[in-house]
Amino acid sequence: HLNFNDPAFDETQEEFFELVNSTGAKIAGVIAGKRYRPDAKYFAGSGKVDEIGEFVEQHHASLVIFNHELSPSQERNLEQRLKCRVLGRTGLILDIFARRARSHEGKLQVELAQLQHLSTRLVRGWTHLERQKGGIGLRGPGETQLETDRRLLGGRIKSLKKRLDKVRSQREQGRRSRQRSGIPVISLVGYTNVGKSSLFNKMTAAGVYADDRLFATLDPTLRRMQLVDTEPLILADTVGFIRQLPHDLVESFSSTLEETRDANLLLHVVDAVAPDRDELMAQVDSVLEQIGAQGVPQLTIYNKIDKANDLQPRIERDQQGQIQRVWLSAQTGEGLELLRLALQERFPADMPYAQPVNP
């Protein structure tokens, strides 16, 4: 029984809860704990681990997820002591990414990241994957099980990388031909759940998968869009960002994010009524910086104005008179014409756009 209005529940915890929910796992309960100095062996203190253990037994839980990064040995020690599976934050996010990946490339990226994550935890045997298939004939002469496991895993990682390279170079070609065509690319960015897919659908009037769960948009989806009085445009629905995206994951998905770096304009979508709106915007900006997209012009979309009585559709211009902010609702459609106006002003019908932003 969770009460998000309880002051003990901060937004990070609320997000964690949503993340877990989006995996489809049935949550038996949440055990709170604040620890400023993590225990080297178990992350949590001994009393807390006992408490978790009792809870696991009582509810026959099969999985314990920590809202924190765990070291490989902590994860293993916990699994031994709790006698059930244990996931840290990266493991959880990878699981979610795996469910949300839509494109072939996205799926390969997730699998590679999962295997790389697994390989850091490979200390006493990667038993479950290959042994189930028989396992006979896998071990080379004189190899220990661990050495065999390492070799198998290394081989899978290598072959995945090769396949990814191929897919990427195909996408690279597609991107180059889009650039040659001179059609401006507009990329939607923003924190997860702010309404990017909804806006994408409204703008392109196409049925892209949008739902309330997180990461509906792990893969970039491109669509041509023709507005009255503008050039034809390409709208790209990219990734949903989340708080504290582990650094190595940003790496893994960097090629997906490259689309963003090469866009002519970013529509940075924010939830106008979210209490932590500005903090989330800053998080997105910092990811954009990490991938070298900080120089791409941005138009900020304050979405979901229908959720507050005092918000009206409107635009805000900078001192040069350029539209910088649009307040609208992707759901009701109010304010969409203002976004169209902003795009018409930036991409008027008779201007050539053959120059990519980052050649």
Among 88, 106, 220, 240, binds ligand GDP (CB under 6 A): 240
- We find the least distance from the C-beta atom of residue 272 to ligand GDP, in angstroms, to be 9
DSSP result, 249-269: HHHHTHHHHHHHHT-SEEEEE
Judged by CB under 6 A, which stretch of 78-86, 91-99, 116-124, 325-333 contacts ligand GDP? 325-333
Alpha-carbon span 338 to 267, nearest angstrom: 13
Residue 128 half-sphere exposure, CB side, CA atoms within 13 Å? 3
Among 330, 339, 342, 343, binds ligand GDP (CB under 6 A): 330
Alpha-carbon span 52 to 69, nearest angstrom: 17
- We find the least distance from the C-beta atom of residue 188 to ligand GDP, in angstroms, to be 8
CA distances to 265, 327, 355 from 188, rounded to whole Å, are: 9, 15, 20
178 or 304: CB nearest ligand GDP: 304
Q: What 8-state DSSP symbol labels residue 303?
A: E
Residue 238 interacts with ligand GDP (CB under 6 A): yes or no: no
Regarding beta strands 265-271 and 232-237, do their DSSP bridges make them parallel or antiparallel, or are they unpaired? unpaired
Residue 331 interacts with ligand GDP (CB under 6 A): yes or no: yes
77 or 238: CB nearest ligand GDP: 238
149 or 219: CB nearest ligand GDP: 219
DSSP result, 33-90: ---SS-BTTTBS-HHHHHHHHHHHHHHT--EEE-SS---HHHHHHHHHHHTSEEE-HH
Among 100, 178, 196, 261, binds ligand GDP (CB under 6 A): 196
Among 192, 238, 256, 264, binds ligand GDP (CB under 6 A): 192
- We find the least distance from the C-beta atom of residue 336 to ligand GDP, in angstroms, to be 10
x/- mask, ligand GDP, residues 287-316, rule CB under 6 A, reads ----------------xx-xx---------
Q: Which of residues 62-81 bind ligand GDP (CB under 6 A)?
A: none
φ, ψ at 64 (rounded to 5°): -120, 125
- Please count the other Cβ atoms lying within 10 Å of the Cβ belonging to residue 237: 27
190 or 356: CB nearest ligand GDP: 190
Residue 94 half-sphere exposure, CB side, CA atoms within 13 Å? 23
Judged by CB under 6 A, which stretch of 29-37, 45-53, 192-200, 339-347 contacts ligand GDP? 192-200
- We find the least distance from the C-beta atom of residue 203 to ligand GDP, in angstroms, to be 12
Tell me if residue 228 falls in helix, strand or coil. Answer: coil
88 or 195: CB nearest ligand GDP: 195
120 or 332: CB nearest ligand GDP: 332
Alpha-carbon span 165 to 18, nearest angstrom: 33
Nearest to 82 by CA among 103, 60, 106, 115: 60
- We find the least distance from the C-beta atom of residue 331 to ligand GDP, in angstroms, to be 3
x/- mask, ligand GDP, residues 204-223, rule CB under 6 A, reads ------xxx---xx------
Q: Which residue has the tokens 């997730």?
A: 110
Q: Which residue has the tokens 């991938």?
A: 291
Among 193, 204, 221, 300, binds ligand GDP (CB under 6 A): 193
Residue nearest to ligand GDP (CB): 195
Among 329, 338, 342, 346, binds ligand GDP (CB under 6 A): 329
Residue 20 in tokens? 């877990």
88 or 240: CB nearest ligand GDP: 240
Count of residues that bind ligand GDP according to CB under 6 A? 21
Q: Chain-centre distance of CA 220, in angstroms? A: 11
> Where along the sequence are the contacts to ligand GDP (CB under 6 A)?
190, 192-198, 210-212, 216-217, 240, 303-304, 306-307, 329-331
